[in-house]
């Protein structure tokens, strides 16, 4: 029996991971976590009976401890509790379903234990990709992407048999983008869009933060940086193509122009399952792609004048050092403010850009430098809020 730690088990990725795991005979979830949603975590804990759970918010952790006092389940708390879960000797894989840079420290802790990381938390690679990838190499930890585009690229690259000449043979990674709910719109028409409109994603049901990122195209920008780290590619070899139907999950173009794509219905359960079972595949039902009804597949160029976050992400990646952490931290704060109706949709890109313009980059940053840059960017955005 394999045991799998699910960080962020109360979120969109976490809940789907548990659904996938219910279909597996030889793997069980062990170690679950939430930020504050203890009702759902209690239900999950009673159902899956992990040894430990973690509630990041201390007051909520106390409440859950009382609720679970009739069980042997240990209730941890705070960010230290997440690290203890990530380091558990029992599990061989950690699914990182936490949203935001909060996922970085527990992911690094799991890497240092040599575990497999089923990586959903893209912010980890965006902010600290160099460190994460080199630690993974040093500790023999496999990083298998859960993000659907990166899972697709990972599967396409598996078609290469030649183990040499990687840089020569791979011409480009082509990440597909749905375009989000505001595809085709002009800047003027986006001035007064509401939170509800931005949360209405056409193809995917996801947590609130990534859904807003999909509407601004910041999600694709973060994914470009994620792909560059995961697949060791320069940014100019990571391309973005709008594909409204989200059937082609991404592609790899080789030097002879052969292009390999991975197709499927838009459903995160396949990439989640594959990251757990890799290199094996396991039967999955109810997700067959019907080519006769999935409609024509269309392709468009991304509009980076309207959706400036995508261009900002390329810029931050090109500058490197602590700049991607500033892009990410400013964006996390801006999205939270948008979700509280405190800033407008187009201001998300404005404040991210302003933070980037004011940041003094630290090159070859340590984890502490990255966390400081993140904190600085968040404070910068909050300060600029009072000026808006």
User: Which residues of this protein are in contact with ligand NDP, per CB under 6 A?
Assistant: 8, 10-14, 34-37, 56, 97-100, 102, 120-123, 147, 204, 206-207, 209-210, 268
Closest approach, Cβ 120 to ligand NDP, in A, equals 3
| Per rule CB under 5 A, count of chain residues that contact Mg ion | 3
Task: Pick the closer one to ligand NDP by CB: 241 or 305.
Answer: 241
Whether the CB-CB separation of 276 and 20 falls below 8 Å is answered with yes
Closest approach, Cβ 223 to Mg ion, in A, equals 6
Task: Pick the closer one to ligand NDP by CB: 202 or 207.
Answer: 207
Task: Pick the closer one to ligand NDP by CB: 63 or 169.
Answer: 63
Task: Pick the closer one to ligand NDP by CB: 102 or 370.
Answer: 102
Among 147, 226, 303, 332, binds Mg ion (CB under 5 A): 147
Q: Measured at CB, which residue is nearest to ligand NDP?
A: 11
Cross-sheet strand order for the sheet of 93-96: 74-77, 52-55, 27-34, 2-7, 93-96, 116-119, 143-145
CA 285 to chain centre: 25
Closest approach, Cβ 239 to ligand NDP, in A, equals 19
122 binds, among ligand NDP, Mg ion, none (CB under 5 to 8 A by kind): ligand NDP
Closest approach, Cβ 149 to Mg ion, in A, equals 5
99 binds, among ligand NDP, Mg ion, none (CB under 5 to 8 A by kind): ligand NDP
Task: Pick the closer one to ligand NDP by CB: 122 or 359.
Answer: 122
Task: Pick the closer one to ligand NDP by CB: 4 or 268.
Answer: 268
The token pair at 86 is 């990530």
How many whole angstroms separate alpha carbon 290 and alpha carbon 265? Answer: 9
The token pair at 281 is 């595949």
56 binds, among ligand NDP, Mg ion, none (CB under 5 to 8 A by kind): ligand NDP
Closest approach, Cβ 104 to Mg ion, in A, equals 18
226 binds, among ligand NDP, Mg ion, none (CB under 5 to 8 A by kind): none
Q: Helix, strand, or coil here: 261?
A: strand
Q: Which of 78, 79, 74, 65 is nearest to 31 (CA)?
A: 74
List the alpha helices (DSSP H) in the chain: 12-22, 38-48, 58-67, 78-87, 104-112, 122-139, 148-157, 166-169, 195-199, 208-216, 218-230, 269-277, 308-319, 323-339, 345-358, 367-387
Task: Pick the closer one to ligand NDP by CB: 36 or 277.
Answer: 36
Closest approach, Cβ 202 to ligand NDP, in A, equals 14
54 binds, among ligand NDP, Mg ion, none (CB under 5 to 8 A by kind): none
Task: Pick the closer one to Mg ion by CB: 60 or 201.
Answer: 201
Closest approach, Cβ 363 to ligand NDP, in A, equals 26
State the virtual CA torsion across 239, 241, 247, 250 in degrees, nearest 10.
Answer: 0
The residues facing 240 across adjacent strands are 175
Q: Kindly tell me the sign of the dihedral angle through the C-alpha atoms of 93, 97, 103, 106.
A: negative
Q: Enter the DSSP assignment of 379.
A: H
213 binds Mg ion (CB under 5 A): no
Run of H or E residues at 98: none
CA distances from 270 to 158, 190, 198, 288 (A): 16, 34, 26, 11
Closest approach, Cβ 301 to ligand NDP, in A, equals 23
Q: Kindly tell me the sign of the dihedral angle through the C-alpha atoms of 221, 225, 226, 231.
A: positive
> DSSP for 147-195?
SHHHHHHHHHHTT----S-HHHHEEEEEEEE---TTTT--TGGGTT--H
Q: Measured at CB, which residue is nearest to Mg ion?
A: 147
Closest approach, Cβ 80 to Mg ion, in A, equals 30
Task: Pick the closer one to ligand NDP by CB: 59 or 191.
Answer: 59
Binding site for Mg ion (CB under 5 A): 147-149
């Amino acid at each position: 029996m394999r045991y799998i730690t699910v960080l962020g088990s109360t979120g969109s990725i976490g809940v789907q991971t548990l659904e996938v795991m219910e279909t597996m005979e030889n793997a069980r979830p062990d170690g679950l976590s939430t930020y504050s949603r203890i009702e759902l975590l209690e239900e999950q804990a009673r159902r899956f009976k992990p040894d430990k759970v973690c509630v990041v918010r201390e007051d909520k952790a106390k409440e859950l401890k009382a609720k679970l006092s009739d069980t042997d389940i240990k209730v941890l708390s705070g960010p230290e509790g997440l690290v203890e879960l990530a380091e558990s000797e029992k599990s061989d894989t950690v699914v990182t379903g936490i949203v935001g840079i909060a996922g970085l420290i527990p992911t690094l802790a799991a890497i240092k234990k040599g575990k497999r990381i089923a990586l959903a938390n893209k912010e980890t690679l965006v902010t600290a990709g160099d460190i994460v990838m080199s630690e993974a190499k040093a500790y023999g930890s496999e990083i298998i992407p859960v993000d659907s585009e990166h899972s697709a690229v990972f599967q396409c690259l598996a078609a290469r048999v030649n183990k040499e000449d990687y840089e020569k043979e791979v011409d480009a990674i082509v990440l597909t983008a749905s375009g989000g709910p505001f595809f085709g719109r002009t800047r003027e028409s986006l001035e007064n869009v509401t939170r509800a409109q931005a949360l209405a994603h056409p193809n995917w049901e996801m947590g609130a933060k990534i859904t807003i990122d999909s509407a601004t195209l910041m999600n694709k920008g973060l994914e470009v940086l994620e792909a560059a780290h995961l697949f060791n590619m320069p940014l100019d070899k990571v391309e973005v193509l709008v594909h409204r139907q989200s059937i082609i999950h991404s592609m790899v173009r080789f030097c002879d122009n052969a292009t390999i794509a991975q197709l499927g219905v838009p459903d995160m359960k396949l990439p989640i399952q594959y990251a757990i079972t890799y290199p094996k595949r396991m039967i999955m039902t109810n997700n067959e792609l019907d080519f006769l009804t999935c409609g024509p597949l269309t392709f468009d160029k991304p509009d980076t004048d309207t959706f400036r976050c995508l261009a900002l992400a390329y810029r931050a990646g090109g500058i490197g050092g602590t700049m991607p952490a500033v892009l990410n931290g400013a964006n996390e704060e801006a999205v939270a403010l948008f979700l509280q109706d405190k800033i407008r949709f187009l201001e998300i890109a404005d404040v991210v850009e302003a933070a980037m313009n004011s940041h003094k980059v630290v090159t070859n940053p340590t984890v502490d430098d990255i966390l400081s840059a993140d904190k600085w960017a968040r404070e910068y955005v909050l300060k600029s809020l009072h000026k808006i």
